[in-house]
Amino acid sequence: MKNFSDGFFSVDANSGFLPIEEPLRKLPDTYAELQSLLDEMPVVKDDGSPGLLATERALEQATERLPNFLNQVKKEKDPRVKAALFRGYSFLASAYTLSPAHHTYLKTGKYGLANKKIPPTLAQPFVVIAEALEVFPWLDYHYAYSLGNFYKKEETKGWDWSNLSMAVKFSGMPDEQGFIMLHVDINQYSPNLVKAALGLADYPTDEINANLELFGTTLQKMNERRRLMWEASRWKHYNDFRVFIMGTKGNVDIFPEGLIYEGVWDTPHTYRGQTGAQDNIIPTADIISGVINYYPKNQLTNYLLDLRTYRPKCVQSFFHFISKKMDQHPLLKRLVDSNNLEGMVHLMKVFEEIYLFRNGHWQFVQKYIMQNTAYPKATGGTPITSWIPNQIKAVLRAMKVLFDKMKDHQNPNWNQSEWLESYNKKVQLLNKQLKIVSIEAFDPEAVFDLNEKMGYQDF
């Protein structure tokens, strides 16, 4: 079996998409000044008092006094130290640049301009550690903001988001914590997802139904956890931290000219912002189930594929491996050729869970973003309202193709007319939602009410 590991992540049936070991909570003592700056940084510190980001220019001034750890950083070999350093410098670069945008937002309700340069003491070690990990020098989802940024408050209490805390924070408030720690919580089931994915990519195999069933039930559990977002992080508080995860690419109102890494490059560089779209669950499900073959040919699809390059190399290799295998032996063809009706029922469940994930997630976007702000760009730099529903269409198309293969066969485990009724409801719901959001000044609440009326309210 192939190895998809970089020493920090290992995409396999033991770790799934989570780090092999819990990430370091603090940096080694050598970096005491950097650690202390990170501890002092949040708008609200752990002891409840205001941190540097609570006062204009305070974080920038403190960063400018930071020693340059470039030579020390160059020597690091331990994967956990490297990941924690990347996390620390990523947070600092985002806080340093976006602090003015945050303060303008507090005063005017609109994001202001970001600082357009980071000083050499920050830029040089940051770029070196990013190169060592082979990632872009900007806050990412894997090593920095989410999967590499948690610790368990009590070891025995497990993965529930409320038992997880962020090692490094921007706002320091509970809604930021709940928001990003829930992403980690959902990934507690990723070992089984990876196990089933590798089992299904393996061909020929006689385990296809067992693996498909595991894949579907795991997605179901993940969806159950995902729905807890509504309580983990209150939508009205999303803007308390959202500005700090913006990217330098695609967000021209905040970074009109990109970002200068002083002492590294003379010209500005741009990178996409931190986003759940860098998470691996849905892409894995799309590749394995074949939904990816129904993606529309548009900018969102290009964006999602571009985001593959914002993941650790070992995750990229995993995607590459399963994509190649599924292209060689597409799942639906295997099921149809072997007249495997049971497998088709399991595949339909997988589609159903991907649909529920995306439709529930669409409701997140309506509430947490559209209801809170007139700014039409997501942190990843995408025009949000029009893009997200495209991927829901892809799932509905895949479902219909599978239905057409199943409809002429009797199957006691599958109620065809019930299925059709539920499918038609989904199509209707999507069309009505698209109609609402096609109006320039649309009312996000209407999307929400519609979901409630049609039985798809997410919480």
In whole angstroms, give the CA distance from residue 262 to residue 94: 15
Q: What is the identity of the amino acid at 229?
A: M
In whole angstroms, give the CA distance from residue 132 to residue 237: 35
Choose between 335 and 392: whose C-beta lies nearer to ligand HEM: 392
State phi, psi for 397 to the nearest 5 degrees: -65, -45
Taking the complex as a whole, the smallest distance from the CB of residue 82 to ligand HEM amounts, in Å, to 24
Choose between 31 and 295: whose C-beta lies nearer to ligand HEM: 295
Neighbours of 145 (CB within 10 A): 28
Taking the complex as a whole, the smallest distance from the CB of residue 277 to ligand HEM amounts, in Å, to 3
Residues that bind ligand HEM (CB under 6 A): 182-183, 186, 226, 229, 275-277, 279, 281-282, 304, 358, 361, 364-365, 368-369, 378-380, 382, 384, 388, 391
Choose between 43 and 378: whose C-beta lies nearer to ligand HEM: 378
In whole angstroms, give the CA distance from residue 212 to residue 331: 10
Taking the complex as a whole, the smallest distance from the CB of residue 74 to ligand HEM amounts, in Å, to 33
Q: Tell me, rounded to whole angstroms, the distance of Cα 139 from its chain centroid.
A: 12
Choose between 87 and 358: whose C-beta lies nearer to ligand HEM: 358
Taking the complex as a whole, the smallest distance from the CB of residue 274 to ligand HEM amounts, in Å, to 9
Task: Quote the tokens at residue 342.
Answer: 């049971």
Taking the complex as a whole, the smallest distance from the CB of residue 246 to ligand HEM amounts, in Å, to 10
Report which of 95, 88, 32, 108 is spatially closest to residue 58, judged by C-alpha positions. Answer: 95
> 277-315: buried (b, 16+ CB within 10 Å) or exposed (e) per residue?
bbbbbbbbbbbbbbbbbbbeeeebbebbeebeebbbebb
Choose between 88 and 148: whose C-beta lies nearer to ligand HEM: 148
Looking at the DSSP bridge assignments, the partners of residue 165 are 151
In whole angstroms, give the CA distance from residue 79 to residue 225: 29
Taking the complex as a whole, the smallest distance from the CB of residue 182 to ligand HEM amounts, in Å, to 6
Cβ–Cβ < 8 Å for 146, 184: yes
Choose between 325 and 361: whose C-beta lies nearer to ligand HEM: 361
Choose between 346 and 358: whose C-beta lies nearer to ligand HEM: 358
Taking the complex as a whole, the smallest distance from the CB of residue 229 to ligand HEM amounts, in Å, to 5
